[in-house]
């Protein structure tokens, strides 16, 4: 079933967790364009939301019908299942009816979190995403790209990088139209690239030389620590590169097409648009 066959839901107040993040802010923009009432779930919002402070949860859940559930830093992080269980229980108690969970592709810990949401009694949709293309333009890989050298513990294993705009489109479709409850959408790009190939495409789009340097996981972790990266983030990134990036996610999936009735955006389109914005030339 494509989106043209799905009926529009009369959407009540929608809480977007991580509303200033890569996917969350895109979800907010799309919902506001559809005149759906939105509440931001972030530390800087009013009322504020913090995963570490459960006393902030009830105020942001008040009168909410739908939730875009994006957990920071990642569902593979220690403590994520407990937080997801507690938040889901709070959402049920608050009268929430629908939840769209952003999940990680190939992460066993993320599957545990999915099962918690699926057993909650809420109408649920899981958006299970591969590696974000925007990690190169809006996150921890931006500075290395600008510096002309991306050093990562990633070898020849390909990854079908997904565009955050596609993730947001699928999430908003599930939040605002019927026919998506009980669906798991594995969202990826249309082709898999190694990190070296991705960096090369970025270099071509930006019109400059950008080197990709593979390193061992221990050396990568040591370099992160030298730059003051918190230990929990070091552990998470090392885990994602050494365990999740082992080929289990190399095959592109059809989640974007199943949810939206159109193909996913290609990495080259992302690279061209990001390069045109000048983000990599600062």
Residue 135 is predicted with a pLDDT of: 96
C-alpha distances out from residue 36 to 25, 27, 66, 146, Å: 14, 11, 11, 37
**Mean pLDDT (whole number) for 34-53:** 96
d(CA 162, CA 170): 12
Q: Which CATH number applies to 3-130+162-189+251-265?
A: 3.40.50.720
Q: Is-contact 168 26, C-beta < 8 A?
A: yes
Residue 6 is predicted with a pLDDT of: 62
pLDDT band at 155 (very low <50, low <70, confident <90, very high): confident
102 token code pair: 């952003």
d(CA 34, CA 177): 12
pLDDT > 90? residue 2: no
pLDDT band at 3 (very low <50, low <70, confident <90, very high): very low
**Mean pLDDT (whole number) for 15-36:** 97
Q: Write a three-state SS string for 106-139.
A: CCHHHHHHHHHHHCCCCEEEEEEECCEHHHHCCC
Q: Is-contact 17 27, C-beta < 8 A?
A: no
d(CA 216, CA 224): 13
**CB burial readout 239-276, b (16+ within 10 A) else e:** bbbbebbeeebbebbebbebbbeeebbbbbbbbbebbe
Residue 4 is predicted with a pLDDT of: 43
Q: What percent of the chain has pLDDT over 90?
A: 89
Q: What percent of the chain has pLDDT over 70?
A: 96
Helix (H) or strand (E) holding 28: helix 24-33
Q: What is the pLDDT of residues 100-116, one digit of tens each?
A: 999 999 999 999 999 99
pTM across the whole model: 0.95
pLDDT band at 5 (very low <50, low <70, confident <90, very high): low
pLDDT > 50? residue 1: no
pLDDT band at 242 (very low <50, low <70, confident <90, very high): confident
**Mean pLDDT (whole number) for 74-93:** 96
- Cβ neighbors of 276 (< 8 A, separation 6 or more) are none
pLDDT > 60? residue 203: yes
Query: By C-alpha distance, which of 20, 17, 146 is closest to 75?
Result: 17
**Mean pLDDT (whole number) for 229-236:** 91
Which has more confidence, 175 or 281?
175
Q: Domain limits of the chain?
A: 3-130+162-189+251-265
Mean pLDDT of the chain: 94
**Mean pLDDT (whole number) for 261-271:** 98
């Amino acid at each position: 079933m494509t989106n043209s066959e799905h009926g529009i839901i009369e959407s009540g107040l929608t809480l977007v967790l991580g509303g200033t993040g890569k996917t969350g802010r895109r979800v907010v923009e799309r919902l506001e364009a559809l005149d759906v009432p939105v509440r931001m779930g972030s530390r800087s919002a009013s009322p504020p939301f913090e995963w570490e402070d459960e006393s902030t949860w009830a105020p942001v859940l008040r009168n909410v019908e739908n939730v875009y559930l994006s957990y920071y830093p990642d569902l593979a992080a220690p403590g994520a299942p407990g937080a997801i269980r507690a938040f889901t229980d709070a959402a049920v108690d608050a009268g929430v009816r629908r939840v769209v969970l952003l999940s990680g592709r190939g992460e066993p810990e993320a599957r545990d979190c999915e099962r918690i949401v699926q057993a909650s009694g809420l109408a649920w949709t899981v958006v299970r995403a591969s590696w974000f293309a925007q990690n190169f333009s809006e996150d921890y890989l931006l500075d290395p790209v600008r510096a002309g050298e991306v050093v990562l513990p990633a070898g020849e294993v390909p990854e079908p990088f997904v565009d955050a705009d596609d993730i947001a489109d699928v999430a908003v479709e599930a939040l605002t139209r019927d026919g998506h409850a009980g669906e798991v959408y594995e969202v990826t790009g249309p082709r898999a690239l190694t990190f070296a190939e991705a960096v090369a495409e970025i270099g071509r789009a930006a019109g400059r030389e950008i080197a990709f340097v593979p390193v061992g996981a221990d050396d990568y972790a040591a370099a992160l620590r030298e730059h003051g990266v918190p230990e929990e983030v070091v552990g998470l990134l090392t885990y994602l590169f050494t365990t999740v990036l082992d080929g289990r996610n190399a095959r592109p999936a059809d989640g974007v097409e199943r949810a939206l009735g159109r193909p996913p955006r290609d990495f080259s389109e992302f690279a061209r648009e990001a390069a045109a914005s000048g983000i990599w030339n600062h």
